[in-house]
Amino acid sequence: MESQGSANHIWDSGQYELLDCGHGWKLERFGCRVIQRPSPAANGNPLLPVNRWQPDDCIGMAADAAWQHHRPADKTWMIRWRDLELQLAFTPYGHLGLFPEHAWHWAWLQQQCRTASNGRSQPSALNLFAYTGGASLALADAGARVAHVDSSRPSVAWARLNAHHSHLSDHPIRWLVEDALKFCQREVRRGSRYQLIVLDPPAYGHGPDGNRWQLDRHLPMLLECIGELWADEPFGFLISGHGDENQVGRMVRDSASAWGHCFRGGWQSGRSILSGTASVSLDAGFWIRWSPRS
């Protein structure tokens, strides 16, 4: 089943908005700041010429291929999604510590978690390539026990800071600086089980010990491990990314065919869409998900 997920309606007014995009740039409101950033997907015409935009900050690539911005790198600010308070900051990689299109997934994950638990149990969730913790905190806020796994120590520290800001520090979240594949292989040996698994793998990456991640080589192995980590009554799977949607879709279908009979239906896939109030929209990657209630 093909569909689209818009991140526009999922954000409260004044927290996030795509204001304009085109000619390789996007203009976004993140809380109290308007940021201009490069965007390869913004290949159309903007509503206003880019040279007439008036951002608070502009992030661009300098001649030496380093990211540059106008504000000090240690300047931080906050943004809110539902009950979560998330810290933003300029990073050396041009990111701000949050992918706004993921908020639509957070809402879906919370819905699956609350429907499955029905207030009677504490479901188990695994978040791989978990970055600064948006999905982990959304799940914890919905009552899940969460294993948050990312190979970047600074990203995990940032996620823990977001948990503090969101008053979730005392919730059952395991913060793990780990290579996703190695962690899952150990979890299989330990006999660990999860009811919900979410991952946002990059095309390429590096683990904490210098291990290289290559999606076309390592994702099938990871999906095979995931097949051995399911609890008796799984209720959600989500993978998102910006790579080759067809390639990842084939990998997921091939792996899920061995996961068990309950995974034979209930699949959905589509594109994440950032959209603004002025007929502005921007493709933000693919997603594939499963739920027994889809």
- Token code pair at residue 21: 């995009």
From residue 57, give the alpha-carbon distance in Å to each of 13, 64, 202. Answer: 20, 20, 27
Alpha carbon 162 to its chain's center? 15
Q: What is the CA radius of gyration of the chain?
A: 19
Name beta bridge partners: 240: 287
What CA–CA distance (Å, rounded) separates 135 from 157?
15
pLDDT at 119: 62
| CA proximity to 241, closest of 202, 213, 195 | 202
Domain limits of the chain? 7-89, 100-290
Provide the pLDDT for residue 13: 84
Query: How confident is the model at residue 65, as a pLDDT?
Result: 44
pLDDT score of 3: 47
**At 221, is the secondary structure helix, strand, or coil?**
helix
Amino acid 294: pLDDT? 64
Structure tokens at 28: 């976004």
CATH 2.60.120.10 fits 7-89, yes or no: no
Q: What is the mean pLDDT of the chain?
A: 90
Give the per-residue pLDDT at 156: 98
- The helix (H) or strand (E) run that includes residue 174 is strand 173-177
Extract the tokens encoding 240.
């998102």
Q: What is the pLDDT of residue 274?
A: 93
* Ranges in the chain, pLDDT < 50: 1-3, 63-66
Q: Which overall architecture, per CATH, does domain 100-290 show? A: 3-Layer(aba) Sandwich (3.40)
Query: Which 8-state DSSP code applies to residue 259?
Result: T
Q: Is there a common fold for 7-89 and 100-290?
A: no
Give the per-residue pLDDT at 63: 46
What is the rounded distance in angstroms from the CA atom of residue 136 to the CA atom of residue 106? 9
